[in-house]
Amino acid sequence: MYYTYILKSKKDKLFYTGYTSDLKSRLKEHNNGKVTSTKNRLPVELVYYEACLNQQDATHREKYLKTAWGKRYIKSRLKNYLTG
């Protein structure tokens, strides 16, 4: 199983999108500063994830969520969370 996930930085409130085969471990790596892309934006929290059956589907989904259409989808999906 592979996961496409979105993290939100508690420091700058920006989002980070990625994929992994071990979501719990990857989240720990992010919060322990072992991921270059997020180490200066700690702490981060998991706000969304999707499960995929294979790596190719997860990477395609990650790429989509990084597009303008994908960002709109996430904003719509997380509407209640984002508006508080």
Number of domains in the chain: 1
Residue with tokens 């992010």: 30
Would you state the pLDDT for residue 80?
85
pTM above 0.75, yes or no: yes
Strand partners, 45: 8
DSSP line for 18-69: EEES-HHHHHHHHHTT-STTTTTS-SEEEEEEEEESSHHHHHHHHHHHTSHH
> What pLDDT sits at residue 82?
77
11: containing domain: 2-83
Tens of pLDDT along the chain (84 residues) come to: 999 999 999 999 999 999 999 999 999 999 999 999 999 999 999 999 999 999 999 999 999 999 999 999 999 999 888 776
CATH code where residue 24 lies: 3.40.1440
* Distance from C-alpha of 3 to C-alpha of 55, rounded to nearest angstrom: 8
